[in-house]
Amino acid sequence: MGRKTIVLILLLATTFGFGQSPFAVRGFCIAAPSKDKVNDFVKFIENELAPGGINTLVLRVDYNYAYESRPELRDENPLSKEDVKKLLAVSRKHNINLIPQVNLLGHQSWHSDLSKLLEAYPDFDETPKVKLPEKYEWPNADRLYCKSYCPLHPKVHDVVFDIVDEIMEVFEANAFHAGMDEVFYLAHPDCPRCQGKDPAMLFAGEVNKISDHLQSSGKELWIWGDRLIDGTDSGIGMWEGSYNNTASAVGMISKSVVICDWHYEKAIPTPAYFAMNGLQVIACPWRRPNVAEEQVEMMNSFKQNSTPEMAGKYLGVMHTVWSSADSFMENYYSEKPDEASAGVVNTLKAMIAATQKIKN
């Protein structure tokens, strides 16, 4: 075999993707950086994520953006349009799909603080009689984890879709992550609109309303998958699964919705459950390197042992970080990261290494 032939084979392999990871999504999900750390995060994308083969970056923006349509929803010292364009430029340079996230439905408070949405629009609150304590503890008598907005409030989507449309435009994004995890307050007996209604139908209705809005402009909806798994029947509990009867929504939501299926202590094989329900799915680790490695192996096995119709639903894996981007970068480069952060950092590295080992 001559040198020219070898060069041609290598060129064809590169062109047609031979030897690359079989995963369409090799993702990383983290809070958007603070305004002061945008340039550092650009370098992190350039020097760590891109060389590691990460091709999808979900940034949890929430209210850390200077919204023009709804300035009352801005956090203090938010990201500007220019900041976002820096992140977009480096992502595009390395063929990384940049996806913004704003938590919808649930996670409208945290501990003793309301989100900007309920702070500005208190009438959207699903549970206005549940007051945030000065000192938050779990468990508590109100079963308060995070508040939700009422999905049936007649004005909530006017506000929500304003910021969804604006953040999608500035990110020039083809997909939007709506969160929708850990929704404990839904169909609450104190809500004059939701009380007595089927929680699964309410949850599915909200997913489909958001999905339809995005689909009207050719965009895709991503959500976390925990509310679509029965926490009792599966035995995985109230965090990774639902105890408030939302699980049957899995058969009611649009098949265009992408499910981010998070399990942090074990590589639970629920991606197969979502795929069997006609949904595309991504397995998501957090702080245990061995779980990330097992999820990569599991998703690859599902793809290799499925029909072509099913194999395409297993999109890949996405590491999740639940600290700030600023502190994650600090620990990533520290010689002595704190113990909790070391696990998260090493899980990202383990996931990247595992994806690079498997080939088409």
Taking the CA of residue 268 as centre, how many other CA atoms within 13 Å lie in the half-sphere pointing to its CB?
18
For the segment 124-173, what is each residue's pLDDT rounded down to a tens digit?
999 999 999 999 999 999 999 999 999 999 999 999 999 999 999 999 99
Confidence of residue 116 (pLDDT cuts 50, 70, 90): very high
| Structural tokens at position 354 | 């595992």
Percentage of the chain modeled with pLDDT above 90? 92
> Closest Cα to residue 353, out of 296, 302, 304?
296
pLDDT at residue number 2: 46
For the segment 86-113, what is each residue's pLDDT rounded down to a tens digit?
999 999 999 999 999 999 999 999 999 9
**C-alpha R_g of the chain:** 21
Whether residue 6 is predicted with pLDDT greater than 60 in this model: the reply is no
pLDDT at residue number 19: 44
pLDDT at residue number 360: 60
Q: Mean pLDDT of all residues in the chain?
A: 94
Percentage of the chain modeled with pLDDT above 70? 94
> Closest Cα to residue 178, out of 237, 253, 111, 119?
253
> Closest Cα to residue 325, out of 89, 10, 5, 38?
38
Whether residue 224 is predicted with pLDDT greater than 60 in this model: the reply is yes
Q: Classify the C-alpha dihedral 37-49-272-323 as positive or negative.
A: negative
Phi, psi of 58 (to 5 degrees): -95, 120
| 171 vs 338: which has the higher pLDDT | 171
Domains defined for the chain, CATH in brackets: 25-109+153-357 (3.20.20.80)
pLDDT at residue number 359: 72
Stretch 252-264: mean pLDDT? 98
Stretch 18-47: mean pLDDT? 92
Stretch 292-303: mean pLDDT? 98
Which amino acid appears at position 15 of this protein?
T
pLDDT at residue number 21: 75
Phi, psi of 237 (to 5 degrees): 90, -175
Which amino acid appears at position 47 of this protein?
N
Alpha carbons 58 and 74: distance in angstroms, whole number:
20
Query: How far, in whole angstroms, is CA 240 from its chain's centroid?
Result: 14
pLDDT at residue number 53: 97
